[in-house]
Amino acid sequence: MIRMKYPYEIEVCCDSWRSAEIAFKAGVHRLELCSAIGEGGLTPSIGLTQQVIQKLDIQVHVLIRPRSGDFLYSVDEIEIMKKDVEYCKNVGVQGVVIGFLLANGEIDTKLTKEFIELAGDMKVTFHRAFDMCKNPIKAFEELKELGIDYVLTSGQAATAKEGETLIRDLVKKSDGKIKIMPGSGVRAHNLDELIQSTQAPAYHMSARIKSDSKMKYKKTAVAMGAQSLDDEYLISTHSLEDLKLAVNLVQQ
Strand 59-63 relative to strand 179-182: parallel, antiparallel, unpaired? unpaired
pLDDT classification of 228: cutoffs 50, 70, 90 = low
CA distance 81 to 79: 5
At 35-44, the pLDDT tens digits run: 998 888 999 9
Residues 6+ apart with CB under 8 A from 176: none
Half-sphere exposure of 211 (CA within 13 A, CB side): 13
Q: What are phi and psi of 9, to 5 degrees?
A: -90, 140
What does the angle CA 49 – CA 50 – CA 51 come to, to the nearest 5 degrees?
95
DSSP string computed for 97-123: EE--B-TTSSB-HHHHHHHHHHHTTSE
C-alpha of 34 from chain center:
8
Burial class for 230, CB neighbours closer than 10 Å (0-12, 13-18, 19+): exposed
Q: How far is CA 99 from CA 54, 135, 167, in A?
A: 27, 15, 18
Q: What are phi and psi of 208, to 5 degrees?
A: -70, 140
Distance separating alpha carbons of residues 201 and 222, to the nearest angstrom: 45
pLDDT confidence of residue 3: 39
The ranges assigned to domains in the chain are 9-210+239-251
Residue 1 has pLDDT above 50, yes or no: no
84-121 pLDDT, tens per residue?
Answer: 999 999 999 999 999 999 999 999 999 999 999 999 99
Closest to 165 measured CA to CA, from 143, 125, 137, 206: 137
Give the pLDDT confidence of 175-227 residue by residue, as tens digits: 888 999 999 999 999 999 999 999 999 999 988 888 888 888 888 777 776 66
Averaged pLDDT, 50-75 = 97
* Fold (topology level) of 9-210+239-251: TIM Barrel (3.20.20)
Q: Give the C-alpha separation, 122 to 125, whole Å.
A: 10
DSSP 7-57: SSEEEEEE-SHHHHHHHHHHT-SEEEE-B-GGGT-BPPPHHHHHHHHHH--
pLDDT at 6: 54
In angstroms, how far is the first alpha carbon of the chain from the final one? 23
Comparing 34-38, 81-85, 234-238, 246-250, which segment has the lowest mean pLDDT? 234-238
pLDDT in tens, 125-167: 999 999 999 999 999 999 999 999 999 999 999 999 999 999 9
